[in-house]
């Protein structure tokens, strides 16, 4: 049997599932780039703990991207290294950074749910099962993003408010690290 035939026989991903997974690879890659850019802005502005939180988050998003990347190739598809452009480098405030994160995470959750729904519909139970990790991860990420944003309302941004918020973000980050989130 020729090499190409062996590869074809091993293929278990349908083309539209592969396309959806490649779109998700792109989304996770963009998440990593967005959070790295936000981390840099926070670092430059002196929000040390927010920066640490976001540097770690950027690394985690790359890991999310790589998990899908490996899965696509192992399932006989072709994972595509995404083009990442249009990354924003400047923000109006620390609150805006965390509003953008929550907004972005909600979009990611919808996209993950769409893949899960699709995989179930076409009876691709391997992909359905693989994506369960992302379902849990998104729930945790949304919770963390909401908690971070709540700090702005609870503490307020006047006086030493922003400094206190940054300290609390440090605690949130430490708690997330301890729980593996």
Total of chain residues touching ligand OFO, rule CB under 6 A: 9
Q: Pick the piece of the chain touching ligand OFO (CB under 6 A) from 66-74, 92-100, 136-144, 150-158.
A: 136-144
Minimum distance from residue 128 beta carbon to ligand OFO (Å)? 18
Binding flag, residue 64, ligand OFO (CB under 6 A):
yes
| Residue 31 within binding range of ligand OFO, rule CB under 6 A | yes
Q: For residues 142-181, which are near ligand OFO according to CB under 6 A?
A: none
Q: Are 152 and 98 in contact (CB under 8 A)?
A: yes
Least distance to ligand OFO from the beta carbon of 27, Å? Answer: 7
Sketch the per residue contact string, 65 through 104, with ligand OFO: x for CB under 6 A, - otherwise: ----------------------------------------
124 near ligand OFO, judged by CB under 6 A: no
Closest to ligand OFO by CB, 33 or 108: 108
Q: Kindly write down the DSSP assignment for every residue of 51-87, as one continuous string.
A: HHHHHHHHHHHHHHHHHHHHHHHHTT----PPP----
Footprint of ligand OFO (CB under 6 A): 28, 31, 61, 64, 105, 108, 137-138, 141
């Amino acid at each position: 049997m020729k090499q190409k035939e062996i590869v074809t026989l091993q293929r278990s991903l349908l083309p539209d599932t592969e396309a959806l997974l490649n779109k998700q690879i792109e989304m996770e890659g963009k998440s990593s780039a967005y959070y790295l850019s936000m981390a840099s802005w926070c670092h430059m502005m002196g929000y040390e703990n927010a920066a640490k939180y976001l540097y770690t988050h950027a690394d985690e998003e790359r890991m999310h991207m790589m998990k899908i990347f490996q899965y696509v190739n192992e399932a006989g598809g072709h994972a595509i290294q995404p083009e990442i452009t249009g990354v924003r480098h400047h923000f109006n405030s620390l609150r805006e950074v965390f509003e953008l994160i929550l907004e972005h995470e909600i979009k990611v959750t919808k996209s993950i749910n769409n893949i899960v729904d699709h995989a179930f519909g076409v009876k691709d139970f391997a992909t359905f099962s693989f994506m369960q990790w992302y379902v849990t991860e998104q729930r945790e990420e949304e919770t963390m993003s909401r908690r971070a944003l709540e700090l702005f309302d609870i503490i307020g941004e006047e006086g030493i408010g922003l400094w206190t918020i940054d300290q609390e973000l440090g605690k949130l980050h430490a708690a997330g690290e301890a729980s593996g989130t």
